[in-house]
């Protein structure tokens, strides 16, 4: 189970860092892309982002649920919290972030859609950060039980 915990930690921490970068740097810069260039920029951004986030998100989700079968250091509560948080990031992505990006792709970046995207992204950022904290606790428990 150690390998699964390491995969879970690596993928979760990757996504925590990436989501903070996107939230604080990337999305706030969207309005500074020229109006005529924005549709092509957004399409390329969306396509390339998928290739960067899909593999670690899949690893994070699957490993979070695998940890439920044999929680590190018997920490079932933390394993459940981790699986719920990983699932929540997928739900937020599918139900809110992806449709908002779809609208931006079709309609262009309006003030309303930009604000919506950033608000949704804040929720995902906080959920991923929470999952990162849970994974830290799982790692600490696993390390202390190994002593």
Q: What is the pLDDT of residues 59-74, one digit of tens each?
A: 999 999 999 999 999 9
pLDDT in tens, 89-137: 999 999 999 999 999 999 999 999 999 999 999 999 999 999 999 999 9
Q: Is the pLDDT of residue 76 over 90?
A: yes
Residue 146 pLDDT > 80: no
pLDDT tens digits for range 28-47 = 999 999 888 999 999 999 99
pLDDT at 1: 65
CA-CA distance, 85 to 64, in Å (whole number)? 9
């Amino acid at each position: 189970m150690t390998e699964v915990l390491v995969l879970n930690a690596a993928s979760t921490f990757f996504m925590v860092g990436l989501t903070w970068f996107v939230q604080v740097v990337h999305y706030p810069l969207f309005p500074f892309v020229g109006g005529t260039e924005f549709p092509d920029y957004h399409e390329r951004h969306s396509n390339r982002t998928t290739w960067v986030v899909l593999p670690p998100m899949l690893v994070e989700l699957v490993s979070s649920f695998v940890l439920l079968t044999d929680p590190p250091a018997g920490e079932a509560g933390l394993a459940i919290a981790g699986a719920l948080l990983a699932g929540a990031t997928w739900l937020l992505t599918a139900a809110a972030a992806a449709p908002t990006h779809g609208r931006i792709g079709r309609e262009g970046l309006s003030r309303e859609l930009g604000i919506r995207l950033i608000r949704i992204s804040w929720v995902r950022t906080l959920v991923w950060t929470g999952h990162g904290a849970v994974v830290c606790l799982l790692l600490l428990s696993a390390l202390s039980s190994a002593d």
